[in-house]
Structure 1
Amino acid sequence: MISLIRTDSKNKDFIELVKQLDAFLAITDGDDHDFYNQYNGLDNIKYVIVGYMDSIPVACGAIKKFDAKTMEIKRMFTSEKSRGKGMASKVLVELEKWALELSFERCILETGIRQVEAVHLYKKNKYTLMENYGQYAGIEESLCFEKKLI
């Protein structure tokens, strides 16, 4: 059985999934990991989704306010054994729904060029490439995406 819960960054299952995410990214990002990691703190993220399969936490994602109309997608992850089952899309859709409920009009995100599965996920869910924003401007290894929610 699949279930999703809305929580915040203090949730112990979210914290554990993010540890797995960081370990995965340390390998795939290689020398660039420290640069990206500085922008991925968990301090006081109010809007977190944790996905469960048969009561086991297997996926997560978060949104945080970027500007008055935009939420930024952060900390998307699905455990290796649970990939390919649609969990990441379910988490992403729930984050978008939550952003809409909070009166935001679009979501943006950054992922690395080495995160092939993530790029596929975002394109499959109708995110489009945009110019790199904020701290990612000019970073060739970064890909930024956006999706208008309304």
Structure 2
Amino acid sequence: MIQLYRTNSEHPEFVRLTGLLDDALCMIYNTRKEDYEEYNRITGLPTVVLAMEENVAVACGCFKMAGDSTIELKRMFVDPAFRSQGIASAIVGELEKWAKENDCEHAILETGKGQPEAIALYAKLGYSMADDSDFASSERSVCMKKKL
């Protein structure tokens, strides 16, 4: 049974999963980890959620503050063997709940055009396309937002 666990960005399982995420993104976009390292580096972040199955993390996500009352969802990843089980939705829900506990009102995120499954998931969870060219880090990006 999957259990959600709040932790921080130094947790070894988060570090492991985000390494797998970086590998997956490099395959999708035919890039190198170094190309996006400045955007993907997460350290000292106290707002990480892991999905655990028998003491092994199978998915992760986190958020960082992107303004006084806005969070940015970051580093969402589900091990391919555990996809299509609602784990990503549960992690997003837990991150949003955590943000609301800290009086946050909005969530934003950036994903890639090469990840249609992620775009569809976020749309299903109430996120809409954001027209914010300052937020997009590249032409490959899709930015989305939601009122919490």
Smaller-chain TM-score bracket = over 0.9
Q: Which residue of 2 aligns with 1:90?
A: 90
Give distance in 2, aligned partners of 1:5 and 1:79. Answer: 16
Which residue of structure 2 aligns with residue 71 of structure 1?
Answer: 71
Question: How far 1:96 sits from its partner (Å)?
Answer: 0.2
Q: Which amino acid aligns with 1:89?
A: S
Looking at structure 2, the residues matched to 34 and 65 of structure 1 have their Cα atoms a distance apart, in angstroms, of 24
Task: Tell me the residue number matched to 1:29.
Answer: 29
Structure 1 regions of 5+ residues with no counterpart? none
Letter in 2 for 1:75: R
Using the TM superposition, give the Cα deviation of residue 133 of structure 1 relative to its aligned residue in structure 2, in angstroms.
4.7
Runs (5+) with no aligned partner, structure 2: none
- Paired position in structure 2 for 1:39: 39
Q: CA RMSD in A?
A: 1.6
SS of the aligned residue for 1:38 comes to helix
Contact 2:23-2:33 at 8 Å conserved across structures: no
Q: State the 4+ residue runs in structure 1 displaced beyond 6 angstroms.
A: none
Partner Cα distance (1:40, 1:100) in 2: 24
1:86 Cα offset (Å): 0.5
- For the 8 Å contact 1:3–1:52, the answer to whether it is kept is yes
What pairs with 1:1-150 in structure 2 (closer than 5 Å)? Answer: 1-31=1-31, 34-136=34-136, 139-149=138-148
Report the Cα distance in structure 2 between the residues aligned to 1:85 and 1:92, rounded to whole angstroms: 14
1:11 Cα deviation from its structure 2 partner: 0.5
- Tell me if the contact between 1:132 and 1:142 (Cα under 8 Å) persists in the aligned partners: no
- Partner of 1:64, secondary structure, is strand
How many residue pairs get aligned? The number is 148
Question: What CA distance in whole angstroms lies between the structure 1 residues aligned with 2:128 and 2:10?
Answer: 31
Contact 1:61 1:92 in 2 (8 A): yes
When residues 128 and 115 of structure 1 are mapped into structure 2, their CA distance, relative to the original with a 3 A threshold, is same
* Alpha-carbon contact 1:3-1:51 (below 8 Å) kept: yes
What do the CA deviations read for 1:77-124 (whole angstroms, capped 9, x no partner)? 000100000100000000000000011101100001001111111011
Kindly tell me: are residues 140 and 33 of structure 1, through their superposed partners in 2, closer, same or farther at Cα, counting changes over 3 Å? farther
Give me the TM-score of the superposition, normalised by structure 1: 0.92
- Percent of residue pairs identical: 38
How far apart are the structure 1 equivalents of 2:74 and 2:91?
Answer: 11
State TM-score, norm by structure 2.
0.93
Which one-letter code corresponds to 2:111 in the other structure?
T
